[in-house]
Amino acid sequence: MSSFMRSKTVKCGLPVATALVAALIFVPVAPAMANDVTETENTTNTEAGTVVGTTDTSSTQEVTNTDAESSKGSSDTETPTTPTSKVAAESIPEVTTLSISVPVPDTTKPVVSLTSGPTGSFNSAGASLVIGASDEVGLVKVVANIYSGATLIQPNQAAASGTSGSLTVDLSGLTNGTYTVKYNALDTSGNVASTGLLTLTVDNTKPTITLKTGSTFVNGFTTVASFKLFDAGKIDYVTVNGVIKDLSNNVYSDLNAVKPGQFGAVEGLNTIVAYDTAGNASAPYTLYLDTTGPTATVKTGTSTIEGSVGSENVFQFVSYKLHDQANVDKLFVNGVEKNLTDDPWSDLNALKPGQFGAVEGLNTIVLVDGLGNQTTFTVTLDTTKPILSLPSGEVISGTHTFSISQIEANPNRAYVEFMQLVDGKWKKLVGYELKDTNTLDFAVDTTLYAEDGTYQIKVSTWDLAGNHASATSGGFVIDNSGPEITVKTDESITADGGYEELWLKLHDLNGVDKVEINGVEKDLTDDEWSDVNGLRPGVFGAVEGENVLVAYDIEGNSTEFRFTIVVPVPVIDDPDDETPDGETPDDTVITPTNGTPSVVDLSKSTQAVSKSNKNVLASTGVDPAVPVGFAVSLMVLGGLLLRRRRNGNA
């Protein structure tokens, strides 16, 4: 049985021999295979002897005949009758039913389709398309021919087996133009698929990008630019640094006002690429954008020609290196224009007050490049030294705070030293550094330094511009000691075991404030020198016997002094030591407790002396009730004794 025939089961009601003969005389005729797939509908031919009936290959037709002649085309079929007698039944031949398979031809076409590939306009570089085919029985080959007009320019076919197959067609060799692809398939039965048609338009031409007029360029840089885009196959979109901007798919399109921040553009280098609807990319267009003014960098070094002295944007003088890729054109200092050489690199050297329009204090500088971009910044010029204010010399003690200030608009740092005069040279004891302030106060604990003496403060200060000033205070005297107490030997009256009367000299550099004698306070005049005179029982709290005097200076330092007051015992003179005849004893002066001198005239009556000197008697310890004559005698004797002792005759 031929490979392109299908088998079919037929049930025949004929004698077996007749059925076999009928089967054997079935002779199929196969169509001839052409070298290429024909592009017309195929037909199936049968010779005489094929089974006439339905062409449905899935059906099974049962044919029943009682007369052999009826199979030759008679349209009348005689219906057999049922025998009515034994004789009639025996005259009918025995009928045997036989099932046989009868080949039926394959008339179903293969199915072809475009599996993948470009449609419409495309770039042929690396392009291809794939034709897929299928058949219920089996495929022989898949065909896809490319025509330019009516001319076959690229035949393509691939052998296939089984019920499916495919053909990949390389399109990379196609040039610009329109092409037709015809594709179909052939199966093992000779059936040819219905031919498919595909129209392709190849566009291998890149779009163009043209700079519009109106942009100004300096050294290849501009601030903004616009472009005209063209492609015969229509512009699809454009990218700026990879950022897509979709367009309206026209032959001509525009990309206008490209500047930093627009369409993905940035300061500096930008890359623009246009794409057409075929996928062709234009040559990259390089655009350099500059919307930034020149830069200014402070030069280092202290050269007065092209250096800088200062910090934190405050300078005595300053120099700058200027740069801009679109050239540095000019600059303004406080509105005063200075033209430059229009180079990418330039200089502004030794800017100081009075130079190029600069002034003491704040200055505004504007830099302009060749495209008109500007940079504005400020700088402070300071050529004035700080002015220091230090305290004058004084006596200090304990923890003392020195008030130091300076007048400076741009303070930076100051160093304060506390120094002691040692052997005629100043020795630093402690130092403090202060930052960014005009208040330079600092405290010193003078108790850390054992020696009282002369000290000073030295201050060195610098402002941000580097201006320097220094100053030294007058001498400070540290006084952590109480007043010095000295006995006045010329005035004091000594006695065995102490003093009958004590006179003292007090001294303190910081000023003597007061004394306390046995807890009784006596205020003094806060002078460097002071006195406590005539101490005897009853004066300033002094008593007979042991006394404690504490002297204080104005800082509270104290000195304790202990002394003993002795009350004198009356002395009886030698009888031979008498006043010469005709002379009377000298008048005796006694200072009473109220400070008013009393003069005792021994030539007066005893009663008069008694009345006028009761207070004196009281001050000397004599009881006023004692007879006046005896009291006067004691007074005279005491006066004479005191006088003689003062005259050195005791």
Q: Using 50 as the pLDDT threshold, list the residues of the chain that sit under it.
A: 1-87, 582-637, 639-650
Whether residue 87 sits in one domain with residue 19: yes
Q: Domain end: 67, 85, 105, which one?
A: 105
CB distance 485 to 506 below 8 Å: yes
Do residue 283 and residue 373 come from a single domain?
Answer: no
Residues in the chain: 650
Contact 492, 449 (CB under 8 A): no
Tokens standing for 195? 């031919």
103 DSSP β-pair partners: 7
Tokens describing residue 10: 């037929």
pLDDT in tens, 168-201: 999 999 999 999 999 999 999 999 999 999 999 9
Question: Which structure tokens are listed for 501?
Answer: 């009367």
* H or E segment to which residue 360 belongs: none
CA atoms within 13 A on the CB side of 215: 22
Please tell me the distance from the alpha carbon of residue 385 to that of residue 579, in angstroms, as a whole number. 86
Three-class SS state of 446: helix
Measured CA to CA, the distance from residue 245 to residue 248 in angstroms comes to 10
Total Cβ atoms within 10 A of residue 127: 19
Cα angle, residue 318 at apex, residues 316 and 320 outer, rounded to 5°: 170
Closest residue by Cα to residue 127 from 174, 71, 177, 76: 174
Contact 45, 29 (CB under 8 A): yes
Q: Residue 646 and residue 482: Cα distance in Å, rounded?
A: 33
**Residue 632 contacts residue 598 (beta carbons within 8 Å):** no
pLDDT at 574: 57
Check whether residue 51 and residue 83 sit in a common domain.
Answer: yes
Boundary-marking domain end, from 81, 105, 129: 105
For residue 577, being part of any structural domain is answered with: no
Domain of residue 449, CATH code: 2.60.40.10
Closest CA to 495 of 548, 564, 592: 564
Please check whether residue 263 lies inside any domain of the structure. Answer: yes
Instruction: Determine how β-strand 361-369 pairs with β-strand 314-333.
Output: antiparallel
Residue 114 bridge partners (DSSP): 131
Distance of CA 34 to CAs 80, 192, 606, Å?
A: 51, 11, 190
Q: Which amino acid is at 478?
A: I
CA 443 to chain centre: 39
- Note the pLDDT tens digit of each residue in 450-478: 577 788 888 999 999 999 999 998 778 78
Residues 283 and 301 in one domain: no
Q: Which two tokens stand for residue 589?
A: 């002066």
CA distance 241 to 265: 7
Q: What's the CATH code of the domain at 239? A: 2.60.40
Q: Are residues 186 and 229 in the same domain?
A: no
Same domain, 12 and 84: yes
The closest of 555, 402, 549, 419 to 480, measured between CA atoms, is: 555
571 falls within a domain: no
Radius of gyration of the chain (CA): 70
Which residues does 423 contact at the CB level (< 8 Å), separation at least 6?
A: none
Q: Is residue 574 one of the residues assigned to a domain?
A: no
The neighbouring-strand residues paired with 614 are: none
Chain-centroid distance of CA 560 in Å reads 67
Same domain, 123 and 46: no
Q: Which helix (H) or strand (E) holds 635?
A: helix 628-646
Which helix (H) or strand (E) segment is 633 a member of?
A: helix 628-646
Pull the structure tokens for residue 372.
Answer: 């008109």
Q: Are 397 and 356 members of one domain? A: no
581 domain residue, yes or no? no
Same domain assignment for residues 213 and 195: no
Residue 549 lies in a domain: yes
Question: What pTM, to 2 d.p., does this model score?
Answer: 0.57
DSSP string, 145-196: EEEETTEEEE--EEE--TTEEEEEEE-TT--SEEEEEEEEEEETTS-BPPPE
* CA atoms of 246 and 264, how far apart (whole Å): 13
480: which residues sit within 8 A by CB, 6+ positions away?
397, 398, 446, 447, 452, 555, 557
Question: What φ, ψ does residue 147 adopt, rounded to 5°?
Answer: -120, 140
Which of these, 398, 482, 389, 480, lies nearest to 441 by C-alpha position?
389
DSSP 3-state of 548: strand
Check whether residue 65 and residue 117 sit in a common domain: no
Pick the closest to residue 501 from 557, 565, 551 (CA basis).
565
Domain range for 372: 295-381
- SS3 for 541? coil
Cα–Cα dist 270/632, whole Å: 130
**Inside any domain, residue 582:** no
CA atoms in the 13 A half-sphere facing the CB of 394: 11
301 and 267 in a single domain? The answer is no
- Looking at the domain assignment, is residue 238 inside a domain? yes
Number of domains in the chain: 7
What pLDDT does residue 519 have?
A: 94
Cα dihedral value 428, 434, 438, 440, nearest 10:
-40
Q: Hey, what amino acid is at 178?
A: T
Pick the last residue of a domain from 236, 255, 289. 289
* Element spanning 310, H or E: strand 309-311
Rounded-to-integer distance, Cα 123 and Cα 456, Å: 94
pLDDT of residue 601: 39
Give me the amino acid identity at 47: E
Pair 373, 393 in one domain: no
Give the pLDDT confidence score for residue 600 in this predicted structure. 36
